[in-house]
Structure formats: C-alpha cells, structure tokens
Amino acid sequence: MRVFIDSSALAKLYIEEAGSAETETTLRGATVLGVSALCVPEVVSAMNRRRREARLAKGQYGSAKDRFLDDMGDADVLPLSSSIVDRSIAILERNALRASDAVHIASALDWRCDLFVSGDARQIAAAGKAGLKTRKV
C-alpha cells in the first residue's frame, strides 16, 4: 500500500505523543512511504521545538533526528513541482488550510497514494474532499 504521511503524523513516530502507536500501526501496512519535501524540515522543526521546551533532551533529539533522516532515505521524498504548486493553490481556494497543508495534499494526489495520513482534522477533511482515502492519527 502506498501511504503518504504529512508532518503532523510522521513526527509522532519520533516524538511520543497521542497517536504515536496508531501511526506506527498504520505505517506497518505501507509497502512504500511518500512525503513532501516540506516534511523533512517540518519534522526537524517539531523536534527542535520540543527540545527548546525541555520536553526532549539533547541526546533524545540527536537520536530521533538521526533515525528520522535515516528513515527518509527509504521514503519517496517528493520535490515541490509546478504541478504540486498549481494543485495546492486550487486546494487552498476550496478549503481553509495553511499553505503547507495544501502542499502535502497536492503532493499525495500527485504521487497517487492509497492512503493519506495526518494528525490534523482540517487537513484530513480537505484531503477527503479532494478524493483521497484518509486516516487521522
């Protein structure tokens, strides 16, 4: 199964929080994992924020970041293309979303995923409206 995961859900694999176990279970069924290129800095940003908030120790941060970057070597990391930009604009015109959320949905559509996974309810609703099968974690 081609599973596309956005940053809000993917971060749950490296930072223990609500939905972490469900995210792990969902990804076990993936034969290939797709992410937007935006996902990489977004997940590292989430890790850094938790480190600044002292919710993630420096050593935990380093270990989590290394695992994450290693895992991204096995994923399809989709570059920001003109078709994804065009599609994200159309998604933004039909939904109240952040730009990055629309880019993730547009990337998933372009990649033709079987399942779109996110931790964001508004993004899940917009992805479903765009025709994607979704799972909120």
Residue-wise pLDDT for 3-42, tens only, equals 999 999 999 999 888 999 999 999 999 999 999 999 999 9
Q: What is the pLDDT of residues 79-137, one digit of tens each?
A: 999 999 999 999 999 999 999 999 999 999 999 999 999 999 999 999 999 999 999 99
Average pLDDT over residues 30-55: 95
Q: Please report, for residues 15, 68, 75, the alpha-carbon distance to residue 65 in angstroms, rounded to integers and kept in the order given.
A: 10, 5, 15
Q: Tell me which residue of 60, 63, 81, 82 sits closest to 71, measured CA to CA.
A: 63
Domain boundaries, the chain: 2-136
* pTM: predicted TM-score of the whole model, two decimal places: 0.94
- Out of 3.65.10.10, 3.30.830.10, 3.40.50.1010, 3.10.310.30, the CATH code matching 2-136 is 3.40.50.1010
Average pLDDT over residues 52-56: 90
Q: Tell me which residue of 123, 116, 119, 124 sits closest to 137, measured CA to CA.
A: 119
